[in-house]
Amino acid sequence: MNILSQNTAFGGMQGVFSHASDVTGTEMTFAVFVPPQAIAEKRPVLWYLSGLTCTHANVMEKGEYRRMAAELGLIVVCPDTSPRGNDVPDELTNWKMGKGAGMYLNATEAPWAENFQMYSYITEELPALIAEQFRADMNRQGIFGHSMGGHGAMTIALKNPDRFQSCSAFAPIVNPLTADWTQDAFEKYLGADRAKWREYDACALVEDGARFPEFLIDQGKADSFLETGLAPWKFEEAVKGTDISLTLRMHERYDHSYYFISTFMDDHLKWHAARLESL
């Protein structure tokens, strides 16, 4: 693991690191905030997955999470959104595909399958590195994210309910099978058989029997992607009649930006901490 930067913030450490990934076949970069409490004891881990076009840096620079994470004693891990490098496949004129648009899935189609294994990277390889290098309590993990990252957080939680104890999302893509900005990428990554897409769709996973205790979703009503890309009411409909608890909060005037995310970041951190500290 290479140290790219380390800075003190609110008594803790904000670091940016890189490592050679066996899963993606590339050098991967990620950020970690370690709270001051980790000097003395292992602390819960909260994963934040970013959205389309983003890197680890978007939430690190604009998410405003460090003050509250330090107060609550949360380790916050912010991975990149895709593999990167000159040899990694990409579509330069399509921001919904390729670099910055890994969709948190394991691609099965050429040329994407060789590098775009983000599901395995997030759920297997990077957690092993975090457990080895930081004072992290891997028995207490939560996950959240924004947009594409909200999709990733929800699907990963639904598929790994024994690993994660909490999950929330800002403006998530809850139904990629029908969203206008994911169908093209899903077909290129996973092939034309839509039955295979269901493994990475929160609504479909619930319909197919996957369960997670509860979700918190915040969504801005002024989000330009609300109707065709996000549609959180579809997930609300999917969990009806199940034992899944959903808190869906719709906010007037808020859009899809980090102004929205930073406004409600403290709420999410407190929500996760309450569930992780109770274990």
| Interacting residues of 4 by C-beta distance below 8 A, sequence separation 6+ | 15, 16, 17, 18, 29
Q: Would you call the peptide bond into 35 cis, given omega within 30 degrees of 0 as the criterion?
A: no
The tokens for 119 are 């599901």
- CA distance linking residue 129 with residue 36, whole number of Å: 20
Burial 20-57 (b: 16+ CB within 10 A, else e): ebebbbbebbbbbbbbbbbeeebbbbbbbbbbbebbbe
Which amino acids are annotated catalytic?
Answer: 147, 223, 256
β-pairing, 12-20 vs 27-34, is: antiparallel
179 and 234 in contact (C-beta within 8 Å)?
Answer: no
- CA distance linking residue 270 with residue 262, whole number of Å: 13
Q: Within 10 A of 274 (CB to CB), how many other CB atoms are there?
A: 11
- CA distance linking residue 239 with residue 243, whole number of Å: 8
